[in-house]
Structure 1
Amino acid sequence: MKKKLQLFISVTLLMFLLAACGTTNGQNTEPDQTTADSEKEIENVEDEETTENGAQDEETNQPENKIEYTSKGEVYTHETAVVEEENYTIQILEGYELTKEEPGKEVLFLQDNDAISMRIEVFPKNASSYDHLVKSTEEWMAAINEYKPLDITEAVNKHPEITNSVAFITTIENDEVVGIVYEKNNILVRLSVFDQKDYDLKDALIKMGLTIEEK
Structure 2
Amino acid sequence: MKKIYTLLSILVLTVLLTACGTSTTTEEQDNSNETVSGTTEQTTSPEETENIETDTAQSTTSPEKALEGATTESDSQNYSITVVEGYELTGEEPNKDLLFNKNNDLQSMRIETFSADEITIEEIQENLVSTLQASNESATVTDLKEENLVPTNDSIDNTSAHQIETPEGKVTGFAFEREGMIVKLTVFDTTDSPSLETFVQMAETIKAK
TM-score under structure 2 normalisation? 0.63
Q: What corresponds to 1:198 in structure 2?
A: 192
> Which of 119, 125, 139 is equivalent to 2:110?
119
Number of residue pairs the alignment of both structures matches: 143
1:178 aligned partner: 172
Runs of 4+ in 1 over 6 A off after TM superposition: none
List alignment gaps of at least 5 residues for structure 1.
1-59, 67-78
Structure having the higher strand fraction is: 1
User: Contact 1:97–1:111 (CA<8 Å) still a contact in 2?
Assistant: yes
Are residues 148 and 135 of structure 1, via their aligned partners in 2, closer, same or farther at CA, if it must alter by over 3 Å? same
Q: Secondary structure at the residue paired with 1:197?
A: coil
Secondary structure in 1 matching 2:123: helix
CA offset at residue 151 of structure 1? Answer: 1.5
What does residue 80 of structure 1 align with?
Answer: 69
How far did residue 174 of structure 1 move? 4.2
Structure 2 residue aligned with 1:92: 83
Q: Is the 8 A contact 1:174 1:198 kept in 2?
A: no
Change (3 A) 1:179 1:117: same
Unaligned runs of 5+ in 2: 1-61
CA gap of 1:102–1:177, structure 2 versus 1, over 3 A, is same
Q: Is the 8 A contact 1:152 1:167 kept in 2?
A: no
Amino acid at match of 2:131: W
RMSD: 2.1
Deviation at 1:64, TM superposition (A): 4.6
User: What is the CA deviation profile of residues 50-75 of structure 1, one whole-angstrom value per residue up to 9, with x for unaligned ones?
Assistant: xxxxxxxxxx99x9542xxxxxxxxx
Shift of 1:173: 3.2
**Letter matched to residue 213 of structure 1:** K
Q: Match for 1:129 among 120, 123, 136?
A: 120
Mapped contact 2:156–2:176 kept (Cα < 8 A)? yes
1:152 shift after superposition: 4.9
Mapped to 2, the partners of 1:134 and 1:162 lie a distance apart of 15
8 Å contact kept, 1:107–1:117 = yes
Matching residue of 1:166: 160
CA distance in 2, matches of 1:170, 1:213: 26
TM-score, with structure 1 as normaliser: 0.61
How far apart are the structure 2 equivalents of 1:141 and 1:175?
12
Residue 101 of structure 1 aligns with which residue?
92
